[in-house]
A and B are shown apart, each in its own frame.
Chain A
Amino acid sequence: MTETSTSEGRIESDITRRLALQALFISVLAIAIGYAAAFRRAGTPVWAAWLLAIGIPVALGAIMILGATRGRRGIGPLKLPFLFVVATLAIGFGAALALPATEGPLSKLWLGLPVRAAIVIYGVGLLPIIVLPIAYALTFESQTLSAEDVERVRAVARERMRREGETGQDSVENERGI
């Protein structure tokens, strides 16, 4: 988890990863507490659903940040898309939990659905599609993978094959204690 380095970029990347891991752990723990609360004899408390409503977006955001963090750049320009999506999911779930149930024959419809349903279907289900895959594609070379990265991996693979050709074993076979 902690990679020692004096470079400023590396440290920033380290901090991003550490925060993402902590957020992932805490959010999964919150979800676990939400489930545990459902086993109470008095019934599921209202706050159990809130723990999931907040915990799920944070967990998804955290694991995406963990995957997107790289080298000197941390998550760079992806901060905004990630923040947007976590906020969209959390606000969507929160609104569905908090807004009063007013669905009826005279309900105002948003794009064909009553308000709370529209928030869930269009907000939670469609808004992230507009933002996340586009952000992924636009930042792909700088943030995810470049031709140079692929060549570095291929060079390491060639070197590894050369060494294994000399020693006749691979790293799994080198494993100790099994």
Chain B
Amino acid sequence: MTTSAPITALLQVSLPNAARPAVVTVGILYFTVIVGISIWAARRTRTANDFFVAGKGIGLIALTVASVSVSVSGFAFIGGPGFIYAVGLGAMYIVLPAAVTNVMGAWVLAKRMRLLGEARSLITIPDAIGARYRSRAAQGLSAVAILVGIVGYMATNALAMGVVINAIFDVGLGWGIWIGMGVTLAYSASGGILAGIYNDVFQGTLMAVASVLVFLFVLGFGGGLGDISRTILAHDPVLLGPWGKITPLAALSFFFIFSMGSLGQPQAVHKYYMLRDPLQLKWYPLLKTVGLILVLLLYFSVGVGVKAFVLDGRLAPLTSPDQATPALLLNVTPIVLAALVFSGVAAATMSAANSFINIGAAIVTHDLPIAFGRRVKNELRWGRAVTVLIAIAAAVTAQRSGAMVAFLGIFGWGLFASTLVPALAVGLNWQGATRSGAMASIATGLVVTLALETAAYFKVFTFPAGVTASAVAMVASFLVFFVVSWLTRRRAAGELDPDVRLVMEL
């Protein structure tokens, strides 16, 4: 839900130096646990199935916490509170969809993805699209779309990691990038998604603990939400209006993109394959929603809390909105809490990076060869090799060009949403969807997103307030999907295999 944003948010943040003994100590402890889990996972990873989908043997609690971890990024800790500080409650429309996205994903995708995995031994999202439409071309096209999104995510996550690790250890941005990517690479290449999942469990728990503690601290320090609100209302009441300082259209756009778009985020959807027992899906939405709410408490409380503390003079005015969390942590909260949050931010970026590395490696070694009618003989070995290449490429890109990295990071969420939601989420639930409709929809999402984001980035034109390339691409992709499927509807029945039909009818 919020994985997209760290990117631009963290890139624009120059975090203050937080290298105090407590912060460094907690940081070292954090990395020690990560290394320990990775060594344990590496010993249990023996096949490509282990490497890419954890042998489909993850329990409910582990999968839930891991899924929360990859769904939330550093944005929830740094950029998001800063966004609330700047524009008020309008920024909440990025996270409010969490109330519906998990259960929506469960109804629309979880059961069918998990059962398809059972029926066909699938391991990737393009696998599911290939099986649904009985099409190598659709599988290949969706793989390309995901790979394009991952290129952006990886470079920006590498840079975000560098920013955070530099803040904790004061080692410089370049070393921060290489240390962060190095550790992530070590556990991604050795233990694959198994290491990723159990590190995500640790990282997600850390994020939730840090978030709840900060939330309680802010409420206590501010005298409760009522007093915080009174302070803001006395100085700048628009911030606590239902849209804050953004337009209703912009706020509703956030809600649309981050709710419907959640159905196309591979790092979350991919997890459905991994659950050991499909019947455990019963409690998955409830547990994940509760977990997400806990992690997002910091987002809201720091945003409004710091605004009130600055307005009543208890905190000095911020140099930029993105300093809201660092300013609170380094000036007001106990330093141990600051240490936990900084490690939590590092955890968020590493968790996302690991997920994307793994998905990217699966696309290169599994989906693209299948699209060309080939099979890689040793997917585990090649998966590890590609994992190394992706991580190094991301770290090099992150170091070389800040402007390019910022550009790459902008469109990830929207690209996944516009290319995958109609073909995957609607396609798995509508037998009338056709291969042509799916491919036209994926191509529309890819082309429209890239064209509009490029044009906007180079200021060829400016979108009206509230309209974004992601939103336009997603609605265009939906409409093309429906229209082309309708035009080619006579082919629909012939494109469904009996086992896929059964999965869709259950």
Chain A residues engaging chain B, CB cutoff 8 angstroms: 1-3, 17, 21, 24-25, 28-29, 31-32, 34-35, 38-39, 44, 48-49, 52-53, 56, 59-60, 63-64, 66-71, 85, 89, 93, 96-97, 101, 103-105, 107, 109, 111-114, 116-117, 119-121, 124-129, 132-134, 136-137, 140-141, 144-147, 149-150, 152-154, 156-157, 160, 171-175, 178
Which residue from chain B places its CB closest to the CB of A69 in the assembled complex? Answer: B429
Whether the pair A60, B100 counts as a contact (CB closer than 8 A) is yes
Residue from the list B131, B233, B479 in contact with A171, Cβ < 8 A: B131
Whether the pair A1, B489 counts as a contact (CB closer than 8 A) is yes
Interface residue ranges of B395-427 to A (CB < 8 Å)? 425-426
Residue from the list A96, A103, A129, A149 in contact with B238, Cβ < 8 A: A103
Whether the pair B119, A160 counts as a contact (CB closer than 8 A) is yes
| Known contacts A154-B118, A156-B119; A120 and B285 CB within 8 A of each other | no
Whether the pair B286, A59 counts as a contact (CB closer than 8 A) is no
Query: Is B312 part of the binding interface, using a Cβ–Cβ cutoff of 8 Å?
Result: no
Query: Is B346 part of the binding interface, using a Cβ–Cβ cutoff of 8 Å?
Result: no
Residue from the list A64, A69, A107 in contact with B233, Cβ < 8 A: A107
Residue among B100, B248, B429, B503 with the most chain A CB within 10 A? B100
Residue from the list A71, A120, A129, A175 in contact with B92, Cβ < 8 A: A120
Which residue from chain B places its CB closest to the CB of A32 in the assembled complex? Answer: B475
Whether the pair B242, A96 counts as a contact (CB closer than 8 A) is yes
In angstroms, Cα B135 to Cα A146, docked, is 30
Subset of 5 A-B contacts with CB under 8 Å: A1-B430, A2-B432, A103-B240, A144-B281, A175-B135
| Known contacts A28-B475, A71-B505, A71-B506; A140 and B89 CB within 8 A of each other | no
Chain B residues engaging chain A, CB cutoff 8 angstroms: 89, 92, 95-96, 98-100, 102-104, 106-109, 111-112, 115, 118-120, 130-131, 134-137, 139, 224-226, 228-230, 233-234, 237-238, 240-243, 247-249, 252-253, 255-256, 259-260, 263, 278-279, 281-283, 285-286, 289-290, 293, 300, 370, 373, 425-426, 429-432, 464-467, 471-472, 475-476, 478-479, 482, 489, 492, 497-499, 502-503, 505-506
Whether the pair B286, A60 counts as a contact (CB closer than 8 A) is no
In angstroms, Cα B135 to Cα A171, docked, is 9
| Known contacts A39-B467, A137-B282; A157 and B120 CB within 8 A of each other | yes
A58 to B: closest C-beta gap in Å: 12
Residue from the list A120, A124, A133 in contact with B103, Cβ < 8 A: A133
Residue from the list B243, B259, B278, B289 in contact with A129, Cβ < 8 A: B289
Whether the pair B108, A64 counts as a contact (CB closer than 8 A) is yes
Measured between beta carbons, the chain B residues less than 8 angstroms from A85 are 100
| Known contacts A103-B233, A121-B92; A96 and B498 CB within 8 A of each other | no
In angstroms, Cα B80 to Cα A55, docked, is 26
Whether the pair B285, A136 counts as a contact (CB closer than 8 A) is yes
In angstroms, Cα B238 to Cα A104, docked, is 9
Which residue from chain B places its CB closest to the CB of A170 in the assembled complex? Answer: B120
Measured between beta carbons, the chain A residues less than 8 angstroms from B234 are 105
In angstroms, Cα B248 to Cα A53, docked, is 9
Which residue from chain B places its CB closest to the CB of A113 in the assembled complex? Answer: B229
Q: Name A's interface SS.
A: helix
In angstroms, Cα B98 to Cα A109, docked, is 24
B50 to A: closest C-beta gap in Å: 20
B138 to A: closest C-beta gap in Å: 9
Whether the pair B256, A66 counts as a contact (CB closer than 8 A) is no
In angstroms, Cα B228 to Cα A130, docked, is 26
| Known contacts A35-B472, A103-B238; A126 and B99 CB within 8 A of each other | yes
Whether the pair B249, A38 counts as a contact (CB closer than 8 A) is yes
Measured between beta carbons, the chain A residues less than 8 angstroms from B499 are 153, 156-157, 160
In angstroms, Cα B118 to Cα A149, docked, is 12
Measured between beta carbons, the chain B residues less than 8 angstroms from A32 are 475-476, 479
Whether the pair B464, A129 counts as a contact (CB closer than 8 A) is no
Measured between beta carbons, the chain B residues less than 8 angstroms from A124 are 96, 99
A107 to B: closest C-beta gap in Å: 6
Whether the pair B252, A128 counts as a contact (CB closer than 8 A) is no
| Known contacts A64-B107, A126-B99; A101 and B241 CB within 8 A of each other | yes
Measured between beta carbons, the chain A residues less than 8 angstroms from B252 are 49, 52-53, 56, 93
| Known contacts A35-B475, A157-B118, A178-B137; A63 and B249 CB within 8 A of each other | no
Whether the pair A117, B286 counts as a contact (CB closer than 8 A) is no
Residue from the list B131, B256, B471, B478 in contact with A172, Cβ < 8 A: B131
Whether the pair A133, B502 counts as a contact (CB closer than 8 A) is no
Known: A21-B482, A114-B233, A145-B281. 6 other contacts (CB 8 A): A32-B475, A105-B233, A112-B225, A153-B503, A171-B131, A175-B134
Residue among B249, B279, B465, B498 with the most chain A CB within 10 A? B249
B261 to A: closest C-beta gap in Å: 11
Whether the pair B103, A121 counts as a contact (CB closer than 8 A) is no
Whether the pair A172, B229 counts as a contact (CB closer than 8 A) is no
The 9 nearest A-B residue pairs measured at CB: A112-B225, A1-B432, A67-B108, A96-B242, A133-B286, A67-B107, A103-B237, A49-B248, A52-B252
Which residue from chain A places its CB closest to the CB of B293 in the assembled complex? Answer: A129
A66 to B: closest C-beta gap in Å: 5
Whether the pair B99, A128 counts as a contact (CB closer than 8 A) is yes
In angstroms, Cα B136 to Cα A178, docked, is 8
Whether the pair B286, A136 counts as a contact (CB closer than 8 A) is yes
| Known contacts A31-B256, A63-B104, A150-B118; A96 and B248 CB within 8 A of each other | yes
